[in-house]
Amino acid sequence: MAQKVKLSTIADSLGLSTATVSLALRDSSLVAEVTRERIKQSARDLGYIYNRRAASLRTSKSGILGVCVHDIMNPFFGEILKSVEDELDRRRQTFILCNHHDELAKQRSFVDTMLQLGADGLILSPAIGTPASDIHLAEENDLPVTLIARTIEGSGVCGFRGDDAYGMGLAVDHLIGRGHRSIAMIGGTAMTSTGRDREAGYRAALKRGGIEFRDEWRVEGPRDRHSGFDAVSAFLAIEKRPTAIVCFSDLVALGVMYGLSRAGLRPGVDIAVIGYDDIDEAAIATPALTTVANGQSEVGRRAAGALLDRLQGLPASEETILITPELKIRQSSEFAWPN
Amino acid sequence: MAQKVKLSTIADSLGLSTATVSLALRDSSLVAEVTRERIKQSARDLGYIYNRRAASLRTSKSGILGVCVHDIMNPFFGEILKSVEDELDRRRQTFILCNHHDELAKQRSFVDTMLQLGADGLILSPAIGTPASDIHLAEENDLPVTLIARTIEGSGVCGFRGDDAYGMGLAVDHLIGRGHRSIAMIGGTAMTSTGRDREAGYRAALKRGGIEFRDEWRVEGPRDRHSGFDAVSAFLAIEKRPTAIVCFSDLVALGVMYGLSRAGLRPGVDIAVIGYDDIDEAAIATPALTTVANGQSEVGRRAAGALLDRLQGLPASEETILITPELKIRQSSEFAWPN
DNA sequence: CTGAAAGCGCTTACAG
DNA sequence: CTGAAAGCGCTTACAG
């Protein structure tokens, strides 16, 4: 590579000052139309590359947003990210992705990097065990945070997620309405707000239906397809086997259906299965999976919107917004259960 | 937020110079052990945040690597990313992710951002239609590139991917060995090196087996689960329906299996199905999916390693390294076909 | 409408 | 072992 092209290279080649060049490249009306065009042309010709860190050092704005979630490969997040991305694209913001795998250390190192780069904001699905003070640290250092999918007690920032207790209630109500009297719940952990709320919704619905909860019905843990598959053996070991299963997520449910098939049981015929999230795959799975649509794209769009509004100086909210979920009935829970 | 804490804040509070503080925080042996500790303690106490853009402006190193692929949600990339990440973590490098969705504009905007931030290197699975000149532009501006999964004619940079023609040949040979004489191939496009190579491997294997290829056997296009599912109707419309299907990827194969089941056909019994990639799900799918293990983790690890080596001054290679794939035989192609 | 000058917060020779 | 000074490439008042 030859010499680095900078503002002064352009300025010198045109006999102008760097101030004028800088303004022109940012389309300032302070610079005459003709001059502006000459400058832009010259920048192209010389192969000028804007030095964002110099600019950012001067202005203390970076034009960068961070997005950090625990599992980028989970279609649930995929759908959130897609809508975050669409919203940010629409508003012409660059963003940077991070996958923290629910490891607090990874999340911290990413937040640190964002701080060091002077990122303008952060959209975060917090790792298990994230203390409110981590959020405060970011906020105190001029990094506004918006939470998605999970929220944190006392964080003092706004967040968007589905109404998990209500949504899981819809699923269980539906099964009870179909005649089921023994319903297991597979997956999720009490370490996240999502896990706690979905389990609470499950238990509340059983109670509403006059069904007494039994400890053995609750298979905690699984949060992905593979662990859902593995959990089937624990389920099959339940003494009086439940006739229906609600799962923590679609991914878990799809794994569970694979596992049931492996064991010679037909999901949707021998046993009802319901997922959560309504990911794209739910509709094409065979049998098609009954599930709870969780408003991913609304979560993503609104979270991005809220952050951008705040960056533009609108007042910050501290609210957690709950998106209302919706039951999607498909084959996997279609058949009424004979009592 | 109060006043921003910077090197000079620490220096002033301790009656030292910023030079000493800067050296101490980076563990330079030029600074006395005791002084170093005092400085670090003070930095912690004051809540000092390193300003990476100032440092980077001065040194023109940023300590950041970019990783950009077309589909972050595809487990195939998930596995590559995991091993890239492990390798980078091991060598304590920060990296930034991007999903270009095979849109050249998105990829360019990310590469631009990397250039503007002065990123140290880039690992890229190039979007369809990426011209070699895009790679040259990055390289000329001091952004070393390593390609993964796909390669580009004339890019002049090193790349890592599976030996797709060979791998697809293994799959087709296996089917022929099981007695199949009519084999369809679903998915993939001639616009990527992967698509071209896998199709070439398929055709070569048919020829080796003395089977004449028929146009209608080739269902081009699908590259994800949903489009695999949708392609089943095209497959079922083939006049003399093939007895086996090789798919462009596991995702496509899993969608195809859903679609076949929907149509009342039993994959692995009525029809053989083979995928490509050996993603985690292949082994738990029911029936378990025969597939070609594509060495994702080796691709990721070696690509990251090659880039880091190059950053440390080792000579750049221009080679494309082909990882040798391996056939994994499972239920979905288990049964011999009666001739 | 354009230019000269200061400063963002670091690091790096160079002195001592 | 520590300090004074210059400079990375921008942008922003301030003049003119």
Measure CB to CB from residue B258 to each of A98, A142, A284 and give the nearest one. A284
- CB atoms under 10 Å from CB of A163, counted, come to 18
Tell me, what's the pLDDT at A73?
A: 87
Token digits of residue A119: 């990122």
**Chain B contact present for A116, CB below 8 A:** yes
* Mean pLDDT to the nearest integer, A63-74: 91
CA A106 – CA A102 distance, rounded (Å): 8
- Give a three-class secondary structure readout of chain B: CCCCCCHHHHHHHHCCCHHHHHHHHCCCCCCCHHHHHHHHHHHHHHCCCCCHHHHHHHHCCCCEEEEEECCCCCHHHHHHHHHHHHHHHHCCCEEEEEECCCCHHHHHHHHHHHHHHCCCEEEECCCCCCCHHHHHHHHHCCCCEEEECCCCCCCCCCEEEECHHHHHHHHHHHHHHCCCCCEEEECCCCCCHHHHHHHHHHHHHHHHCCCCCCHHHEECCCCCHHHHHHHHHHHHCCCCCCCEEEECCHHHHHHHHHHHHHCCCCECCCEEEECCECCHHHHHCCCCCEEEECCHHHHHHHHHHHHHHHHCCCCCCCCEEEECCEEECCHHHCCCCCC
Q: Are residues B138 and B87 part of one domain?
A: yes
- Does residue A55 lie within any of the structural domains? no
Pairing of strands A64-69, A121-124: parallel
Higher-confidence residue of A216 and A60: namely A216
C-beta separation of A138 from A122 below 8 A: yes
User: Which residue from B81, B112, B242 is spatially nearest to A63, judged by alpha carbons?
Assistant: B112
Say if B339 falls within a structural domain: no
Number of domain units in chain A:
3
Q: Are B248 and B221 in contact (CB under 8 A)?
A: no
Do residues A198 and A275 share a domain?
yes
Mean pLDDT of A153-165: 94
Nearest alpha carbon to residue B1 among A138, A166, A105, A272 = A138
Residue B55 domain flag = no
Alpha-carbon distance of A64 to A194, in angstroms, equals 29
The token pair at A14 is 């045109």
DSSP A315: P
The answer to whether B211 touches B176, Cβ cutoff 8 Å, is yes
11-30 on A, CB < 7 Å from strand C: 15-20, 23, 29-30
pLDDT score recorded for residue B317: 87
Q: Does one domain contain both B115 and B131?
A: yes
Considering the domain architecture, whether residues A171 and A291 belong to the same structural domain is answered as yes
A51 CA to C1 C1' in angstroms comes to 26
Q: What would the pLDDT profile of A44-59 be if each residue is shown by its tens digit?
A: 999 999 999 999 999 9
Window from A320-324, B28-32, B236-240, B278-282 with minimum mean pLDDT: B28-32
- Mean pLDDT over B1-5 rounds to 68
Ramachandran bin of A268, using left for φ above 0, alpha for ψ from -120 to 50, beta for the remaining angles: left
Q: Which of B26, B142, B284, B330 to mutate to test the interface with A (most CBs of A within 10 A)?
A: B284
Domain at B122, CATH number: 3.40.50.2300
With contacts defined as CB-CB under 8 Å, which chain A residues touch B142?
1
Beta-carbon contacts of B32 under 8 Å, excluding residues fewer than 6 positions away, are none
Is the confidence at residue A167, as pLDDT, over 70?
Answer: yes
- Write the pLDDT tens digit of every residue in A76-135: 999 999 999 888 888 778 888 889 999 999 999 999 999 999 999 999 999 999 999 999
Query: Residue B41: which domain range?
Result: 7-50
Give a yes or no: residue A218 inside a domain.
Answer: yes
Query: Over the stretch B185-235, which tens digit does the pLDDT of each residue have?
Result: 999 999 998 999 999 999 999 999 999 999 999 999 999 999 999 999 999
A270-315 pLDDT, tens digit each: 999 999 999 999 999 999 999 999 999 999 999 999 999 999 888 8
pLDDT (tens digit, 9 = 90+) per residue, B67-76? Answer: 999 988 899 9
Among A66, A65, A132, CA closest to A100 = A66
Same domain, B35 and B105: no
Q: Which pLDDT score is estimated for B339?
A: 54
**Residue A255 and residue A208 share a domain:** yes
Residues A178 and A118 in one domain: no
CA angle B16, A113, A105 (to 5 degrees): 105
Looking up residue B34, the CATH number of its domain turns out to be 1.10.260
- Same domain? A124 vs A238: no
Give the residue from chain A lying closest to B112, CA to CA.
A49
| Domain membership flag for residue A339 | no
Residue B11 inside a domain? The answer is: yes
- Cis peptide leading into residue A126 (ω within 30°): no
First to last CA, chain B: 78
pLDDT at A2: 53
Question: Given CB atoms, is B261 within the 8 Å cutoff of chain A?
Answer: yes
The rounded mean pLDDT for chain A is: 93
> Do residue A73 and residue A44 come from a single domain?
no
Please report, rounded to a whole number, the percentage of residues in chain B having pLDDT higher than 90.
80
A3: contact with B, CB 8 A cutoff: no
The reply to whether residue A118 touches residue B262, judged by beta carbons under 8 angstroms, is no
> Domain check: are A209 and A315 in the same one?
no
Q: Cα(A302)–Cα(A88) distance, rounded to whole angstroms?
A: 11
Residues B129 and B250 in one domain: no
* pLDDT given at position A1: 44
Q: For residues A189 and A252, is the Cβ–Cβ distance under 8 A?
A: no
Residue B302 and residue B153 share a domain: yes
Each residue's pLDDT tens digit, B108-162: 999 999 999 999 999 999 999 999 999 999 999 999 999 999 999 899 999 999 9
Alpha-carbon span A292 to A275, nearest angstrom: 7
Contact B289, B254 (CB under 8 A): yes
Task: Give the model's pLDDT for residue A335.
Answer: 78
| pLDDT above 70 coverage of chain B, percent | 98
Checking if the pLDDT of B1 tops 60, the result is no
Q: How confident is the model at residue B2 (pLDDT cuts 50, 70, 90)?
A: low
Inside any domain, residue B2: no
Residue B56 lies in a domain: no
Q: Residue B168 is encoded by which pair of tokens?
A: 């697809």
Examine the pLDDT at B90 and tell me if it is beyond 90.
Answer: no
With contacts defined as CB-CB under 8 Å, which chain B residues touch A144? none
User: Are B316 and B138 spatial neighbours (Cβ–Cβ below 8 Å)?
Assistant: no
The vertex-B132 CA angle with B126 and B136, nearest 5°, equals: 105
Selection from B254, B262, B266 nearest residue B334 by Cα: B266
Through-space distance between the first and last CA atoms of chain A, rounded to whole angstroms? 78
